[in-house]
Every structure is written in structure tokens, then in C-alpha cells.
């Protein structure tokens, strides 16, 4: 079973997979992979990979070139991927 915490808004075609934990936050047209953790996150599209823990207060997916933002998987500042 997945866990959707109080204060969580799910919109559009959002899919929360097995054993994922989400919320509070807002998720729109997002796939939350199995065992992923996304608390205090705003997600607008894309897929949060299985087993990933997003940092709190993140906007996902991160837009390239957003000052001060980090990559969801490695903490690499946006725009600095090689």
C-alpha cells in the first residue's frame, strides 16, 4: 500500500505506486514510483523514480537554469549536468 498524508492534493492523471509516501504537497499529472518519498513537494508532471527521496520544499521536475535549484537524484545544481 502507498501512504498519502493529510493535506495532499492529487490532480489530473497522478499515479502513486506501491509503498510510496507522499504529502503534504501538490501533485499534478505525476507518477510517483514505488517506495519513493515526496513530502512537502509540488510536482507538476514527470515521474519520480522508484526508491527516490525528494528533499522537502522542492518543485519537481526542476527546470534547467533555475538559480539555486538542485537535481532530484543527485543534488547537482541545475544547469551543471555533464
d(CA 45, CA 28): 6
pTM equals: 0.76
Supply 18's cell numbers: 506501491
Residue with the larger pLDDT of the pair 30 and 69: 30
Per residue in 18-63, pLDDT (tens digit) is: 999 999 999 999 999 999 999 999 999 999 999 999 999 999 998 7
- 10 three-state secondary structure: strand
The b-or-e profile of 15-50 (16+ CB within 10 A means b, else e) is: ebeeebbbbebbbeebbbbebbbbbebebeeebbee
Closest CA to 38 of 61, 67, 64, 52: 52
Q: How confident is the model at residue 64 (pLDDT cuts 50, 70, 90)?
A: low
Amino acid at each position: 500500500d502507498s501512504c498519502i498524508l493529510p493535506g495532499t492534493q492529487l490532480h489530473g492523471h497522478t499515479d502513486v505506486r506501491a509503498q510510496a509516501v507522499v504529502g503534504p504537497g501538490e501533485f499534478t499529472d505525476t507518477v510517483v514510483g514505488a517506495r519513493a518519498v515526496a513530502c512537502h513537494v509540488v510536482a507538476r508532471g514527470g515521474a519520480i523514480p522508484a526508491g527516490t527521496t525528494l528533499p522537502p520544499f522542492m518543485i519537481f521536475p526542476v527546470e534547467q537554469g533555475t538559480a539555486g535549484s538542485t537535481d532530484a537524484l543527485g543534488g547537482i545544481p541545475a544547469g551543471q549536468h555533464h
